[in-house]
């Protein structure tokens, strides 16, 4: 009997072992071990959210999705949360996926800032404004297709090629331009306080001008008649300027003004002043003879034109005394030397005249 039973048991075990593999072994079902409580969250849609999906709080697994239902065009997701996990009040819920093709899970995000200690009680619901749905795989694929087929990469390639053609062979200049731009940005940043102060002062100036707009308007209105007069007499002013310009050009033609004639009146006056200055500084200088000649000269030239009402006795008699003229000791009567000097002077003058008529510069 023992041998028979052992043989039958071995045969049964051998047959069973041949039909059982790893693929037939049951996998552990995901779930929350231990006590738990339920929370609800309202989403616009819960597409691709599987049953038993994980619920994470700040990245840690804290529960699972228990069930889903539709209520007033919203997806109400019921979550089973571990009993030892306290979800702060104000927590938001989002449907996320680790990868574009990965499973969707519920991510709970606690509120930022200092918490007041309030937590969500079992059965509380996270409202719709505090939730966000994850992008579906269809939306991801459509966005990728628009990115690829919409010409973004092609346009980017054209931009890169255009930049390469523009910079071709001049990369060093582009680098220098970048360096200069960086340095300029650094200078502007370093002087941001001065720029800000300048802007503040400019703003103050604008405010002052705005406050005194009426005063400025009154000044402009008061100055308008004067401006009208100037505008009306502009042509006359221009005519006066033109006349002054013509007079200046005419005066500039005189040799004495141009300084090209050594025998000009100005040159003679300069020479006379130089000799008078030398005589005044000379210890033995005697100007009595000069002083005696000043009287007839002043008589002839005491007006804007030559005065012919002169005392001819002083000019003709010279050294000879007369009742009205005591005589000039520095003068003398004409003699042979004066005749020779007159002939020489006349000859020289005629030669100068002939040279001007026949020679260069006639």
Contact 75, 67 (CB under 8 A): no
Name residues whose C-beta falls within 8 Å of residue 296's C-beta, 6 or more positions apart in sequence: 310, 311, 314, 315
Q: Rounded to whole angstroms, how far apart are CA atoms 335 and 73?
A: 146
Contact 126, 40 (CB under 8 A): yes
pLDDT value for 307: 53
pLDDT at 222 over 80: yes
Greatest mean pLDDT among 54-68, 91-105, 149-163, 320-334: 54-68
- Per the structure, the complete domain to which residue 46 belongs is given by 36-112+119-140
pLDDT at 28 over 70: no
Q: Rounded to whole angstroms, how far apart are CA atoms 243 and 41?
A: 97
**Each residue's pLDDT tens digit, 282-332:** 777 777 766 766 666 665 565 555 555 555 555 555 666 666 666 666 667
**In the chain, which residue ranges form alpha helices assigned H by DSSP?**
2-19, 137-149, 152-167, 171-190, 192-211, 213-232, 234-251, 255-258, 265-281, 288-300, 312-316, 336-358
Q: Rounded to whole angstroms, how far apart are CA atoms 57 and 79?
A: 12
pLDDT band at 221 (very low <50, low <70, confident <90, very high): confident
DSSP-derived letter for residue 99 is: S
Task: Tell me, yes or no, whether 130 and 44 share the same domain.
Answer: yes
Which tokens go with 243? 């006349």
Phi and psi of 97, rounded to 5°? -140, 140
Query: For the residues of 149-165, what is the DSSP string, one character each?
Result: HTTHHHHHHHHHHHHHH
**In 233-335, which residue ranges form alpha helices assigned H by DSSP?**
234-251, 255-258, 265-281, 288-300, 312-316
Task: Tell me, yes or no, whether 66 and 91 share the same domain.
Answer: yes
Secondary structure (3-state) at 307: coil
pLDDT band at 163 (very low <50, low <70, confident <90, very high): confident
In terms of Cβ atoms closer than 10 Å to its own Cβ (0-12, 13-18, 19+), residue 303 is: exposed
Question: In whole angstroms, how large is the CA radius of gyration of the chain?
Answer: 60
Top pLDDT among 56 and 259 is at 56
Task: Tell me, yes or no, whether 208 and 123 share the same domain.
Answer: no
Give strand ranges (E) for 4-160: 36-43, 54-57, 60-71, 74-82, 92-97, 104-109, 125-126, 131-132
**Each residue's pLDDT tens digit, 241-284:** 888 888 887 776 665 555 555 556 666 777 788 877 887 777 77
Task: Tell me, yes or no, whether 130 and 60 share the same domain.
Answer: yes
Top pLDDT among 345 and 11 is at 345
Greatest mean pLDDT among 126-135, 169-178, 328-337: 126-135
Indicate whether 361 belongs to any domain: no
Task: Tell me, yes or no, whether 69 and 136 share the same domain.
Answer: yes
Task: Tell me, yes or no, whether 128 and 81 share the same domain.
Answer: yes
Task: Tell me, yes or no, whether 95 and 53 share the same domain.
Answer: yes
Task: Tell me, yes or no, whether 133 and 220 share the same domain.
Answer: no
Indicate whether 164 belongs to any domain: no
Contact 319, 333 (CB under 8 A): yes
**Each residue's pLDDT tens digit, 94-113:** 888 777 667 788 888 888 76
pLDDT value for 347: 92
Indicate whether 84 belongs to any domain: yes
| Number of domains composing the chain | 3
In sign, the C-alpha dihedral spanning 118, 123, 124, 125 is positive
* Mean of per-residue pLDDT scores for the chain: 76
Q: Rounded to whole angstroms, how far apart are CA atoms 50 and 68?
A: 10
Task: Tell me, yes or no, whether 52 and 99 share the same domain.
Answer: yes
Indicate whether 170 belongs to any domain: no
Indicate whether 360 belongs to any domain: no
Indicate whether 224 belongs to any domain: yes
In terms of Cβ atoms closer than 10 Å to its own Cβ (0-12, 13-18, 19+), residue 38 is: middle
Task: Tell me, yes or no, whether 83 and 51 share the same domain.
Answer: yes
Indicate whether 196 belongs to any domain: yes
Indicate whether 226 belongs to any domain: yes
Task: Tell me, yes or no, whether 127 and 218 share the same domain.
Answer: no
In the chain, what percentage of residues exceed pLDDT 70? 66
In the chain, what percentage of residues exceed pLDDT 90? 1
Tell me the whole-structure pTM to 2 decimals.
0.35
Q: Rounded to whole angstroms, how far apart are CA atoms 55 and 47?
A: 16
Task: Tell me, yes or no, whether 126 and 47 share the same domain.
Answer: yes
Q: Rounded to whole angstroms, how far apart are CA atoms 326 and 312?
A: 14
């Amino acid at each position: 009997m023992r041998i028979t039973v052992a043989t039958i048991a071995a045969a049964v075990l051998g047959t069973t072992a041949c039909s059982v593999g790893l693929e037939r072994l049951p996998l552990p079902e995901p779930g929350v071990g231990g006590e738990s409580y339920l929370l609800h969250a309202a989403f616009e849609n819960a597409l691709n959210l599987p049953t038993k999906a994980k619920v994470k709080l700040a990245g840690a697994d804290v529960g699972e999705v228990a069930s889903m239902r539709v209520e007033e065009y919203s997806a109400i997701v019921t979550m089973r949360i571990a009993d030892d996990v306290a979800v702060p009040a104000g927590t938001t819920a989002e449907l996320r996926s680790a990868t574009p093709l990965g499973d969707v899970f519920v991510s709970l995000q606690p509120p930022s800032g200092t918490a007041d200690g309030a937590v969500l009680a079992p059965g509380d619901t996270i409202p719709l404004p505090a939730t966000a749905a994850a992008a579906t795989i269809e939306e991801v694929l459509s966005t990728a297709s628009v990115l690829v087929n919409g010409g973004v990469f092609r346009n980017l390639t054209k931009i890169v090629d255009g930049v390469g053609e523009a910079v071709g062979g001049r990369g060093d200049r582009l680098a220098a331009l970048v360096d200069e731009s960086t340095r300029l940005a650094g200078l502007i940043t370093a002087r941001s306080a001065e720029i800000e102060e300048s802007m503040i002062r400019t703003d103050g100036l604008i405010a002052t001008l705005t406050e005194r707009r009426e005063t400025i308007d009154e000044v402009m209105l008061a100055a308008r008649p004067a401006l009208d007069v100037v505008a009306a007499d502009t042509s006359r002013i221009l005519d006066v300027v033109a006349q002054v310009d013509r007079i200046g050009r005419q005066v500039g033609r005189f040799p004495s003004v141009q300084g090209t004639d050594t025998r000009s009146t100005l040159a003679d006056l300069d020479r006379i002043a130089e000799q008078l200055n030398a005589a005044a500084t000379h210890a033995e200088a005697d100007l009595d003879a000069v002083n005696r000649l000043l009287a007839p000269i002043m008589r002839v030239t005491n007006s804007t034109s030559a005065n012919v009402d002169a005392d001819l006795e002083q000019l003709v008699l010279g050294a000879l005394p007369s009742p009205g003229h005591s005589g000039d000791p520095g003068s003398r009567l004409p003699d042979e030397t004066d005749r020779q000097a007159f002939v020489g002077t006349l000859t020289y003058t005629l030669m100068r005249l002939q040279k001007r008529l026949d020679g260069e510069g006639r």
